[in-house]
Amino acid sequence: MAEAAYRNLIQKAEKSNKLPEGWQVLGIEQDVALSIYREEKGAGFKTFQEEIYGGANESYNKKGQRIDAEGFVIEEADIEQNEKDAEWGVDEEETASTSGAFECGNCGYTLFVAKGREAKFFGAGFKCPQCGAEKDQFTTLDPDDIE
């Protein structure tokens, strides 16, 4: 247990070429402390969490999609979703302020969609479930118009 505590101390200590203090208090022999220090130095002083999660700081856009340092979407599925959004005409700023309700201009059928999920519902072959109208017949309802 003392060795695990010392290993944790080394990982959190400033990364230097000096053996951190504390091994004496924990009751560890100097040669064991030095061995632990060398192991941790060889592993780059990474904590358990950094080893598992890579220690990378990830960034996300307003849609919650992972992006790289230049702001480009990383995940292939997100890139495809953005292309579908563009095809449907879903604007990121617009979807943040809409109600998520869409009305068929042909029959009045109302479809409620979670914000940001419009492209999932309005794919290439979407038709009104009630009358079979094409997706271009649907209009976004103003939040004030919903009863």
Question: pTM value?
Answer: 0.34
35-93: pLDDT as tens digits = 888 888 777 777 766 666 665 566 777 776 777 777 788 888 878 877 777 776 665 54
DSSP sequence for 42-111: HTTT--HHHHHHTTPPPEE-TTS-EE-TTS-B--HHHHHHHHHHHHHT--HHHHHHS-SEEEETTT--EE
The answer to whether the CB of 142 falls within 8 A of the CB of 100 is no
7-33: pLDDT as tens digits = 777 777 766 677 777 777 788 888 888
Q: What distances in angstroms separate CA 36 from CA 8, 12, 16, 54, 66, one per listed residue?
A: 10, 14, 14, 21, 36
